[in-house]
Amino acid sequence: MRILFVGDVVGRPGRDVVERRLRALRSELEVDFCVLNGENAADGIGITPRLAEQLLQTGVDAITLGNHTWRRSEIAPYLCSSTRVVRPANFPSSAPGSGLAVVAAADGTPVAVINLLGSLYLEPARSLWEVVDELVDEAHRETQVVVVDIHAEATSEKVALASWLDGRVTAVLGTHTHVQTADARVLPGGTAAMTDVGMTGPHDSVIGVVTDLAIQRMRTGMPVRFETARGGVRLEGALVECDAATGRATAIAPVRTE
Ligand SMILES: [Fe+2]
C-alpha cells in the first residue's frame, strides 16, 4: 500500500494548494492513505476545528500537529472528540486529545498515526523517549502499519528516533523545520525515514513568513508581526510504499509539486 505524508501546511496558500491538488495527486500516485501536518494551517500558526474539517474533506485521512497546537484555543474541545486529528503524545498527560489515532485506509487496512514533539527548543512536558515504546505497542494491538510524525527542530533527534524504531514502525517522518531534506531512505529493518518532508505553502519566504518581516525581527530583536507569504506555493511531502500485512516499508520518495 501507498501512504502520502503532506508536509506542514502553511496558511491559506498551503490550504489552497491542498484543496486544488490533493485529490488528483492521490489518484496519480495511487495513494491509499494520506496524513498531513496541519499545525500551521490557520494563517501560519495553529489550526481551528473548521480548518481541520475542511482539510479532512480534501482527501486527507489524518492530521498531525505540533508545538503550535494550542494557538487557537477552540481546537482543544475538538481534539477531545476527533478520531482523526492527533496532537503530540508527549504533551502533559492531562492535555485534551490523543497522540495516537488508528484510521482505515482506502483498502480497509488500519493505519496508526503517532505524533511526537522533539526536545530542542520545543520543551515538551515529557521526553518523547518516555512515551514512544508504549505508544508503538498500543498501535500494534490494532495494526502493523504505523506512521510516526516527529515534529522536531534537531536533525539528530529525528535520525535517532528513526533508528530506535527501525523494524517496529512503517515510517518515521520529520516535520516542523519546513525545508525538505535529501535523506529519504528505508532503514535495514524496514522503516522508511526522512528528516523533514518539507512545507506545503509559500516557498518565496522564510519558512512560510514574509521574508522582510522575518529578517526585520532577526536583525532588530524587536517584536514584528509575522504575515504568511504568498509566492512560490507548492505541496511537499513523502510517499511511502509498504506491505499492508507486515507494515514493512519497501520504498520512500520525496514529493514536490510545482
Ligand atoms: Fe512546529
Spacing, Cα 151 to ligand 1 middle (Å) = 6
pLDDT of 139-160, one tens digit each?
Answer: 999 999 999 999 999 999 999 9
For the whole model, what pTM was predicted? 0.97
pLDDT band of residue 44 (cuts 50, 70, 90) is confident
Place of cell 519546513: 178
Nearest Cα residue to 124 out of 162, 87, 155: 87
Spacing, Cα 27 to ligand 1 middle (Å) = 29
Calculate the average pLDDT of the chain.
Answer: 97
As residues whose CB is below 5 A from the ion ligand 1, the structure lists 66-67, 176
pLDDT band of residue 67 (cuts 50, 70, 90) is very high
How far apart are the C-alpha atoms of 102 and 210, rounded to whole Å? Answer: 36
Regarding beta strands 192-194 and 199-202, do their DSSP bridges make them parallel or antiparallel, or are they unpaired?
unpaired
Spacing, Cα 213 to ligand 1 middle (Å) = 19
pLDDT band of residue 33 (cuts 50, 70, 90) is very high
Cα–Cα distances (Å) from 90 to 117, 164, 205, in that order, read 7, 17, 30
pLDDT of 5-26, one tens digit each?
Answer: 999 999 999 999 999 999 999 9
Whether the per-residue pLDDT at 52 is higher than 90: the answer is yes
Spacing, Cα 112 to ligand 1 middle (Å) = 21
